[in-house]
Amino acid sequence: MLARDEHATGKISVWWDMKYCPIPKSYVTGLIRQSIEGEFEERGYFGPVTITACLCRANANL
């Protein structure tokens, strides 16, 4: 399913939980952004993409 016209160029935010969804060891890290943006483009989304990777530490002081 492709994006509706009113959503196709909207801002896209990706929050990535790296603890539960780590980068596979065999993956080329330089291709991560390109891969994520490509998946959105295949679905008709062409807006600006912000990717925020999160890695929470169990004993972090807040």
How confident is the model at residue 60, as a pLDDT?
56
Question: Is the separation of the CB atoms in 13 and 50 below 8 Å?
Answer: yes
Q: Where are the domains of the chain?
A: 12-54
pLDDT at 1: 79
53 has a pLDDT exceeding 60? yes
> pTM of the full predicted structure?
0.77
Chain centroid offset of residue 14 CA: 4
pLDDT tens, 4-43? 988 899 999 999 999 899 998 999 989 999 999 999 999 9
Q: What is the band of 56 on the pLDDT scale with cuts at 50, 70, 90?
A: confident
